[in-house]
Amino acid sequence: MSKLIGLTGDEAIAYAVKQCNVDVVAAYPITPQTIIVEAFSEYVHNGEVKTEFICVESEHSALSACIGASLTGARVFTATSSQGLALMHEMLYIASGLRCPIVMGVVNRALSAPINIHGDHSDMMGSRDCGWIQIYAENVQEAYDWTIQAFRIAEDKKALLPVSVNIDGFILSHALEGVKTLDDKAVDSFVSTRKAEITLDPAKPITVGALCLTDYYFEMKRQQVEAIKESKGVISSVNEAYEQISGRKYGIIDTFGIGDAEVAILCLGSTAGTTKYVADSMRKKGFKVGVIKPWIYRPFPAEEIVKATENLKALIVLDRACSFGAPYNPLCSDVISALYQAERELKVINVVYGLGGRDIAPSDIRGLFEEGLEVSKTGKVNEPVKFVGVRE
């Protein structure tokens, strides 16, 4: 039977991993991710899982160990944050390049300097192009649900790519929520065990990580382009299968009030919760506002976003990271590219918020919606990139 359990975001990910028959976990502690591996190591200690837990001396080693284990055909999980993800940077590309279906919990946290432990998206956006499927959860329930789905997405023959499940540092990682968990047996039959077609096997020797120069490297990258594009279909079919066992519906993007909205805010992760709350209260007063939340950031849901913005007159894109020196910040750059490709002329405002964990209040979001409504009337954007919540 499914049970309602009080779990923090970190604990929910650890609990999901416990149910997913994971063979190997190699990880290193870092705030605010630590509780994931801490909770999981307790499961190992108590004999609740058969997982091999490898203690390593750094995140670089953690992901290296995961890659080796994944190549043997094992199901592998790790987790990290911020500087840890940055230290993994070169191994991130090796994991995707060698097509290792590793699942990683990323508890998003600001990057140094100055040192900061709170939530923003600069860590994952800094590794945006590493070839991983990137999922952003809005709340603890979603963190649990996506972690389970991530293993099936990663290991699907059409994808065979590493997947990161992102949750906002502290806002989700340390927030206690009632989580509707699934029965162990239901998860077990959903994820089964990993069935790798090519593995490291002394009886059938292969070479992995061989030199690949001007004659083949490009072909390998072209394969990755196709694999991550194809993974969108995989994600959708995994979502359908998951709905069958959980009753919860997931997709590539999530929308709220978008049917008749003239103005929408598009954002990732936990901020979408606050934004939906504000949109809901404004809609009750007759304002036509909505919310678009990409669950999947890579592969980028270009078609889905273009479709969701069909009836809009203005769109506000929230970025919790900076792309220094770029015309727009990471999420907004992608949104604008998608709109341009679809030959859509839509007024867009890019808003940077919440860096280093700075709070964004419902009143800030209400202000942004009001500004969007003004733009929808005048058709004029005064400031294409603006900053909310920073002192002048």
90 binding other proteins? (CB under 8 A): no
| Smallest distance from other proteins to CB 209, Å | 7
| Consecutive H or E run containing 68 | helix 59-71
Separation of alpha carbons 72 and 198, rounded Å: 8
* 231 vs 323, beta carbon nearer other proteins: 231
* 207 vs 363, beta carbon nearer other proteins: 207
Radius of gyration over every alpha carbon of the chain, rounded to an integer in angstroms:
21
Separation of alpha carbons 110 and 365, rounded Å: 21
Mask for 141-170, x = binds other proteins (CB under 8 A): -------------------x----------
| Smallest distance from other proteins to CB 118, Å | 37
| Smallest distance from other proteins to CB 208, Å | 6
Calculate the CA dihedral of residues 316, 321, 325, 328 and round it to 10 degrees.
Answer: -20
Mask for 94-133, x = binds other proteins (CB under 8 A): ---xxx----------------------------------
| Smallest distance from other proteins to CB 98, Å | 5
Handedness of CA 168, 173, 177, 178 (dihedral sign): positive
**In the structure encoding, which two tokens stand for residue 159, read together?**
């994808």
Residue in the structure block whose two tokens are 């911020």: 82
Separation of alpha carbons 64 and 385, rounded Å: 39
Work out the number of other CB atoms within 10 angstroms of the CB of residue 333. 17
Binding-site residue total for other proteins (CB under 8 A)? 22
Residue 326, SS3? coil
| Smallest distance from other proteins to CB 94, Å | 10
| Smallest distance from other proteins to CB 199, Å | 10
Residue 56, SS3? coil
* 1 vs 213, beta carbon nearer other proteins: 213
The stretch among 167-175, 221-229, 290-298, 315-323 that binds other proteins (CB under 8 A) is: 221-229
| Smallest distance from other proteins to CB 222, Å | 4
Contact 375, 314 (CB under 8 A): yes
* 230 vs 374, beta carbon nearer other proteins: 230
* 178 vs 209, beta carbon nearer other proteins: 209
Mask for 191-220, x = binds other proteins (CB under 8 A): -------x------xxxxxx-x--xxxxxx
**In the structure encoding, which two tokens stand for residue 111, read together?**
């990057």
* 205 vs 286, beta carbon nearer other proteins: 205
| Smallest distance from other proteins to CB 227, Å | 8
| Smallest distance from other proteins to CB 90, Å | 16
* 125 vs 130, beta carbon nearer other proteins: 130
**In the structure encoding, which two tokens stand for residue 323, read together?**
């792309």
The stretch among 93-101, 178-186, 259-267, 280-288 that binds other proteins (CB under 8 A) is: 93-101
| Consecutive H or E run containing 166 | strand 163-168
- DSSP track, 221-242: HHHHHHHHHHHHHHHHHHHHHH
**In the structure encoding, which two tokens stand for residue 99, read together?**
């097509």
DSSP collapsed to 3 states, 333-379: HHHHHHHHHCCCCCEEEEEEECHHHCCCCHHHHHHHHHHHHHHHHHC
Sites of contact with other proteins (CB under 8 A): 97-99, 160, 198, 205-210, 212, 215-220, 222-223, 226-227
